[in-house]
Amino acid sequence: MNEPEPFDHSSEPASGPRPDCFGDGDLVCPQDEDGIMHPRQECLPCGHLRACLQLALHRRGKLRLVEEPAPSKVTGFFKRWSDRKLSKQKES
């Protein structure tokens, strides 16, 4: 499974090399009888927990990648304003 890693973990603390179980959903967050995923107790102190769970959820199709951040209200306002201004200029 040499799949490229989809997440940027630059804010993740450097806690050494990643364990072999990194991103393996069956090992890291198995499902219970109701289908709910729970991280194993052994994984909770791991410094790679968040990145590992994100990758496991992405591989299972439970987490989608967001390429660009969601626009803020101000950004949306300026985008609409700019679009309207450009459309009025084209009409003239």
pLDDT digits (tens, 9 = 90+) for 19-52: 999 999 889 989 889 988 888 999 999 999 999 9
Best CA proximity match to 24, nearest among 66, 65, 46, 67: 46
Query: What does the pLDDT read at residue 36?
Result: 87
Are 58 and 66 in contact, with CB atoms under 8 Å apart? no
Task: Note whether residue 54 is domain-resident.
Answer: yes
Task: Note whether residue 43 is domain-resident.
Answer: yes
Q: Give the tens place of pLDDT for each residue, 50-84.
A: 999 889 988 888 877 666 666 788 888 888 899 99
Are 12 and 49 in contact, with CB atoms under 8 Å apart? no
Query: What does the pLDDT read at residue 60?
Result: 85
- Residue 11 clears pLDDT 50, i.e. is over it: no
Task: Note whether residue 88 is domain-resident.
Answer: no
Helix (H, G, I), strand (E, B) or coil at 59: helix
Ranges of beta strands (E only) in the chain are none
For residue 37, list its beta bridge partners: 31
Domain tally, the chain = 1
Task: Note whether residue 82 is domain-resident.
Answer: no
d(CA 31, CA 29): 7
Task: Note whether residue 74 is domain-resident.
Answer: no
Task: Note whether residue 83 is domain-resident.
Answer: no
Q: If pLDDT is split at 50, 70 and 90, which confidence band does 1 have?
A: very low
Task: Note whether residue 86 is domain-resident.
Answer: no
Task: Note whether residue 85 is domain-resident.
Answer: no
For residue 48, what are the domain limits? 7-64
For residue 31, list its beta bridge partners: 37
| Residue 61 one-letter amino acid | G
Query: What does the pLDDT read at residue 61?
Result: 84
